Chains A and B, each alone.
Chain A
Amino acid sequence: DVKVTQSSRYLVKRTGEKVFLECVQDMDHENMFWYRQDPGLGLRLIYFSYDVKMKEKGDIPEGYSVSREKKERFSLILESASTNQTSMYLCASRSFSYNSPLHFGNGTRLTVT
């Protein structure tokens, strides 16, 4: 089974702090993703990466950056956390096969105060 592991289940940070969310997958997937999930808004794509050091903006990249130095690891960075970034953050991975699903981690619930 694919395992996508997010380093923290819950985080509480202060406004203005720099926040790192870490994600590791164990299936050698080329593609990795960061989504945020908010009530009533569903899943929204922040960034994705299709290879080491490669990244593409999703639908809501503002206020975020990402890093992919190794194939198995994809980090989401909030340069200066704001209260509107309080959310559930979900990491996912996917193989390069066309008809392949996203596999999600268990999420990090971030609260910015």
Chain B
Amino acid sequence: GESVGLHLPTLSVQEGDNSIINCAYSNSASDYFIWYKQESGKGPQFIIDIRSNMDKRQGQRVTVLLNKTVKHLSLQIAATQPGDSAVYFCAEHSRGDNFNKFYFGSGTKLNVKP
């Protein structure tokens, strides 16, 4: 079956540095990807999404890169701030699946050191 996973379960960065969080997926039919941020005790918060016909998408301080050749997704956070400390996970959807079926990664915990 499909799997959405992460390379690094925990990432520690210095405040002000850039952060890169990675996600690998296995289904070549996946065509829509989402990044979520989940702070302790809260629900997942939508950050940014990207369709498979794009390689890159930018938001406010965040950039998502999609490499379909190696089935890899990354989230880059510029000038990381203490408020960015959270668990980040990716989600993936495949056109061949039920419209409402998503696969979720297990998450990377980002620690921002002041």
Residue ranges of A at the interface with B (Cβ–Cβ < 8 Å): 4, 6, 31, 33, 40, 42-43, 45, 48, 50, 56, 90, 94, 98-99, 101-107
Contacts and interface: CB of A to CB of B under 8 A. Distances in A.
Given A31-B100, A42-B105, A101-B49, A106 B43 contact: yes
Size category of the binding interface on chain B: 20 to 34
A90 B38 CA distance: 12
Interface string B30-60: 0010101000011111100101000000000
A106 B45 CA distance: 9
Contact of A94 (B45, B100, B106): B100
Chain B interface main SS type: loop
A105 B44 CA distance: 8
Contact of B49 (A31, A56, A99, A107): A99
A40 B104 CA distance: 12
A42 B106 contact: yes
Contact of A99 (B41, B51, B104, B107): B51
A33 B93 CA distance: 15
B99 A98 contact: yes
Contacts of B51: 99
Given A98-B32, A98-B99, A99-B49, A42 B104 contact: yes
Interface in B35-90: 36, 41-46, 49, 51, 89
